[in-house]
Chains A and B, each alone.
Chain A
């Protein structure tokens, strides 16, 4: 509980700063709208205001400040506006919306829950494939010297390459041969989580020290036995560290994968929000994605805790 105090203080400070920043950010449009509605602003005429600094405008028009927090399509929507939009596109849309799940039996294509589930599907499928293959390759690398010397340097180098740059191409190429929907995005997600898992898992499988491996040799243990009884258990902390990185990378991959061919998903929603100037929508989608990332990572942490406890490692 003692730890919560500073965190809440910092979060409160961030929210306060957000509200404060919204004022100078939105002031130009606020004044334009106010003038159109007939109010007198200083200086008059949008042309005259263009070259005046935002802070000067704020100081001169103090009575219009509060409107910064309720503007539509604001440059910086206020926190409560974003929360309102979040509510409207999740619970409200599904329960009360015409196309929501209550009234039509399926998820509304306007709701973030729908888009989120599209992105989530690709993320999880890709993550499972990528980590699964990554673990297999890691086991191969640790047991075959040829594979180790040929492939491992490339696995390490690949971490310095922006693999995500491949995403649009993969999507478009697969689309042109008729593969669309979840699979191309899952391929990107898999690819992004693959290498971190390989590198982390190899480190983990190699983590037992010489003393431990020597002991097993004195027992005449075979390689598979050593793998199962020593290396795999020893690699668990390293594996989970990479899984946390991997799942975050998978989510980014799925989002980027939704940009070229927009068939729903949080990435498409963000892009749409930016094209049509629907800033609240953009922010709401971003926060929803952030929340999803947090929940996914937290899930891994939870599984890690349970696994380590089962293994007798006190956290």
Chain B
């Protein structure tokens, strides 16, 4: 019980400290802007540990963070192949194929106005559907291994990527297009010199959204059937045996993967669209 009171005290103390940091003279510093959310996150973890131990919550309901860390390092041998299966093969493979196909389709759609007027509404519609539902069908067609997961990812990332790229290719002003006409430029010259670079901010918006969708698709697809490997598989089997510490460890892996993947694409975006007002604070 003491732990619970201590947890409350820690929470109040940390919140007050953060309050002082956020509202005080130092709030503009980059180091403070980084410290405040980290302190908040650390407080959540510390309070979690204290309350779970203080109230003696059974491990099958909610394990304390220390146990999770132990499970993470303890099961590293299984978690690494799981990660490779789900992310490196399933999510990444599908991501590359899906985004690549969407880019090529977007160029086709841009070229032929009829396709744009027909395909884009259909694409918008498909982007809103619960595509994860196609997972069992794709497992039936492509088998249990990573190919079916990649297929699910392809279907999930294709439409948002298509919609974003087409929007980007069209985001040039009439003046810019007129300038190209005064140079007597061909369609392909205009595409590569003007519209494609101008579309990059939109394309990266799509690529960032696609990173999240890829990981979700790969993991959820594994809930529907998978060989004895994979993050989704590990979650569903560990849930079945109530080994919740392993489940949380897998979630940590998934979270780290998700943020790292997104961060990598965001880093590439900053490098390639340095010229866009949104990047030039």
Contacts and interface: CB of A to CB of B under 8 A. Distances in A.
| Complex A–B touching at CB under 8 A | yes
Interface of A: 3, 5-11, 14, 25, 75-76, 145-146, 148-154, 157, 159-162, 164-166, 168-169, 172-173, 176-177, 244, 248, 251-252, 255-256, 259-260, 266-267, 270-271, 273-274, 279, 282-283, 285-286, 289-290, 293-294, 297
26 contacts: A7-B121, A7-B122, A8-B118, A9-B118, A10-B118, A146-B36, A149-B21, A149-B22, A149-B32, A150-B36, A150-B37, A151-B37, A160-B211, A161-B254, A164-B216, A165-B219, A165-B231, A165-B250, A168-B247, A176-B60, A255-B133, A271-B136, A274-B137, A290-B129, A290-B133, A293-B129
A27 B239 CA distance: 39
A152 B248 CA distance: 23
Contact of B220 (A154, A256, A279): A256
A51 to B, nearest CB: 17
Interface in B106-123: 114-119, 121-122
Contacts of A6: 114-119
B174 interface: no
Nearest to A253: B130
A157 to B, nearest CB: 6
A148 B254 contact: no
Nearest to B119: A10
A11 B239 CA distance: 41
Contact of B242 (A5, A176, A177, A297): A176
A10 B116 CA distance: 10
Contacts of A164: 216, 219-220
Contacts of B130: 248, 251-252, 255, 289-290, 293
Nearest to A297: B128
Contact of B137 (A149, A153, A154, A282): A282
Q: Which of B130, B255, B261 has the most CB of A within 10 A?
A: B130
Given A148-B22, A162-B219, A256-B132, A10 B122 contact: yes
B73 interface: no
A169 B140 contact: no
A145 B129 contact: no
Interface in B198-247: 211-212, 215-216, 219-220, 223-225, 231-232, 235-236, 239-240, 242, 244, 247
B233 to A, nearest CB: 11
B187 interface: no
Contacts of A75: 140-141
Contacts of A161: 254-255, 258-259
B39 interface: yes
A56 B44 CA distance: 62
Given A148-B22, A149-B33, A165 B232 contact: yes
> Interface residues of B: mostly helix, strand, loop or mixed?
helix
Q: Which of A7, A149, A270, A289 has the most CB of B within 10 A?
A: A149
A254 to B, nearest CB: 9
A255 B128 contact: no
A283 B122 contact: no
Q: Which of B223, B240, B242 has the most CB of A within 10 A?
A: B223
Q: Which of A146, A159, A177, A259 has the most CB of B within 10 A?
A: A146
B41 A169 contact: no
A311 B139 CA distance: 48
A294 B133 contact: no
A173 B244 contact: yes
A173 B61 contact: yes
Given A162-B219, A173-B61, A176-B242, A282 B136 contact: yes
A7 B240 CA distance: 46
Nearest to A290: B129
Those 9 A-B pairs whose CB atoms lie nearest each other, nearest first: A6-B118, A274-B136, A10-B118, A150-B40, A160-B262, A6-B117, A153-B37, A149-B36, A146-B19
A149 B27 contact: yes
A285 B132 CA distance: 12
Contact of B215 (A145, A162, A168): A162
Nearest to A160: B262
A148 to B, nearest CB: 7
A256 B131 CA distance: 11
Contacts of B27: 145, 149
A253 to B, nearest CB: 10
A154 B119 contact: no
Interface in B1-53: 15, 18-19, 21-23, 27, 32-33, 36-37, 39-41
B18 A149 contact: yes
B44 to A, nearest CB: 9
